[in-house]
């Protein structure tokens, strides 16, 4: 009896807490890998593609701290209709090493450089230059800039997440995809 009750006593609360953390966005979701050879992926009605990764281009910005390097991940997103485009307001991009043991959020101090000036920065969601939702069907360039340790550059993948709501009464639940390079 004890053999059955101990796993249930610890497992059920853990599962409920994990589900709650995913639903309220306090825990990053497990990202689904974009299939090898596939350039685009649908994420909750919006089409994303990883176009280019640039390493070490700081141009007119201050250099990163010693032992670190600036990495830019350039994406194209085509917002979907209606609710899908609105979900981009919660988009987040992060750089991930290996199986996710180390990860980095965007570094907003480098988003004014000439090479990223024609793109939006997803530091606080994906909005146009005026802070409004992106227009459905129009291609948008997104530049996510990271400052990562030099030893992490070769193994980086990039994860894009947005929130979803499965039930109109419920809080948003995040969903994510992972671009390997």
pLDDT in tens, 66-108: 999 999 999 999 999 988 888 899 899 999 998 788 999 999 8
Q: Which of 45-49, 129-133, 146-150 has the lowest mean pLDDT?
A: 129-133
* HSE, side-chain direction, 13 A CA sphere, residue 86: 5
- Distance, CA of 139 to chain centre: 18
H helical segments located in 64-171: 83-87
DSSP, collapsed to helix, strand or coil, labels residue 128 as coil
pLDDT value for 160:
95
pLDDT band, residue 62 (cuts 50/70/90): confident
Q: Residue 15 pLDDT > 70, yes or no?
A: no
pLDDT value for 170:
61
CA distances from 181 to 25, 65, 134, 146, 154 (A): 26, 25, 26, 16, 9
Calpha distance 48→50 (Å, rounded): 7
Domain locations along the chain: 2-179
pLDDT value for 22:
46
H helical segments located in the chain: 2-23, 83-87
Closest CA to 164 of 27, 69, 35, 25: 25
Q: Which CATH number fits domain 2-179: 3.30.70.1450, 2.60.40.1240, 3.40.640.10, 3.90.1150.150?
A: 2.60.40.1240
């Amino acid at each position: 009896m004890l053999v059955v009750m101990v796993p249930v006593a610890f497992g059920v609360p853990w599962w409920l807490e994990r589900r709650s953390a995913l639903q309220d966005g306090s825990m990053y979701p497990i990202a689904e890998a974009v299939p090898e050879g596939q350039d685009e992926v649908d994420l909750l009605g919006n089409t994303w593609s990883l176009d280019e990764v640039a390493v070490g281009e700081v141009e007119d910005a201050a250099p990163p701290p010693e032992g670190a390097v600036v990495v830019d991940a350039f994406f194209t997103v085509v917002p979907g209709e209606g609710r899908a485009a609105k979900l981009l307001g919660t988009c987040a991009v992060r750089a991930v090493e290996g199986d996710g043991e180390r990860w980095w959020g965007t570094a907003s101090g480098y988003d004014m450089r000439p090479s990223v000036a024609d793109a939006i920065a997803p530091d606080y969601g994906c909005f146009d230059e005026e802070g409004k939702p992106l227009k459905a069907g129009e291609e948008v360039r997104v530049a996510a800039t990271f400052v990562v340790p030099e030893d992490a550059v070769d193994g980086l993948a990039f994860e894009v997440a947005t929130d979803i709501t499965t039930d109109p009464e419920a809080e948003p639940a995040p969903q994510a995809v992972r671009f390997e390079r």
